Amino acid sequence: METVKKYNCLIVDDEPPAREVLRRYITQVPMLNLVGECGNALQALTTIKQQQVDLLFLDIQMPQITGLDLIGTLSHSPKIVLTTAFEQYAVQAFDLDVVDYLLKPIRFDRFLKAVMKALPDDGLSAVNQPAMQTAESADHAFLYFRSDRKMVKVLLNDILYVESLKDYVKVHTVKGTIVTKYAMAALEAMLPANNFLRVHRSFLISTDKINSFTADEFDIQGHLIPVGKLYRQQALKMFNKK
């Protein structure tokens, strides 16, 4: 069996939710190895000096030292993918020879494209080719979830709804359910927004699987999913447009 070469990654972002999303994305890519997370640029400098970092996911706006300032201090820089909520730094960023510039909220297919740009051709093993299809073919798009000590492939078209269980989520599909350790916000960011809708703090539904709905609940193939007050207006507005 061919061994997948690993590339060390470091996340630098002062926002814990943003780090959580990137952490989850990295675990989905077999050749990436997360060596650390830093809440500011000073911590990142220390980490980079202490161990090999091949790929840096770097936020721009951080306290004390910005991500762009950090790049200027590195004499031997790893490959850098900038992650930010602001478009105005794009020209300046590419002048610094970064690999890619990802705007938050970052979707998984866009993250994956940045990784493919960053890694050398010999790092792109065949195991990554199916993952590339998530951006190209909606009918065959899928994700892997770690469950019962194995990675389980789930087609997005098979998902009925997702239920949050504190630090875990239960993914309900046409073939059964999968329980995995995942943050609901991270999974929501990975799923295509035109096919999945957050209708409650604890529920995310597939819009293609809706049988009927009211202001209070959605019928997902016989499963009644409650609509939270904070999500009701957005959910109804979406369907009133259709």
Give the pLDDT of residue 142.
79
- The tens digit of pLDDT for each residue in 192-222 reads 878 899 999 999 999 999 999 998 999 999 9
Residues 115 and 18 in one domain: yes
In a domain, 198, yes or no: yes
CA distances from 90 to 61, 97, 164, 207 (A): 13, 11, 36, 34
In a domain, 73, yes or no: yes
Least confident of 36-40, 127-131, 167-171: 127-131
In a domain, 168, yes or no: yes
Residue 236: its H or E element: helix 229-240
Residues 92 and 66 in one domain: yes
Higher-pLDDT residue of 211 and 77 is 211
Across the range 71-88, mean pLDDT stands at: 88
Q: Which long-range contacts (CB under 8 A, 24 or more apart) does 187-195 make?
A: 187/24, 187/162, 189/21, 189/105, 189/106, 189/107, 189/108, 190/24, 190/25, 190/107, 190/108, 190/143, 191/156, 191/159, 192/107, 192/138, 192/141, 192/156, 195/138, 195/156
Residues 186 and 115 in one domain: no
| Number of domains present in the structure of the chain | 2
- The tens digit of pLDDT for each residue in 136-168 reads 445 567 777 778 878 788 888 999 999 998 778
Please state, in angstroms and rounded to a whole number, the distance separating the CA atoms of residues 72 and 37. 20
In a domain, 2, yes or no: no
Produce one character per residue of 84-112: b if its CB has 16 or more CB atoms within 10 Å, e if not.
beeeebeeebeeeebbbbbebebbbbebb
Residues 119 and 163 in one domain: no
Give the pLDDT of residue 175.
94
Residues 103 and 164 in one domain: no
Domain end point (choices 82, 110, 129): 129
Residues 214 and 189 in one domain: yes
Domain end point (choices 97, 129, 161): 129
Cβ neighbors of 193 (< 8 A, separation 6 or more) are none
Residues 84 and 154 in one domain: no
- Structural domain boundaries, residue 108: 7-129
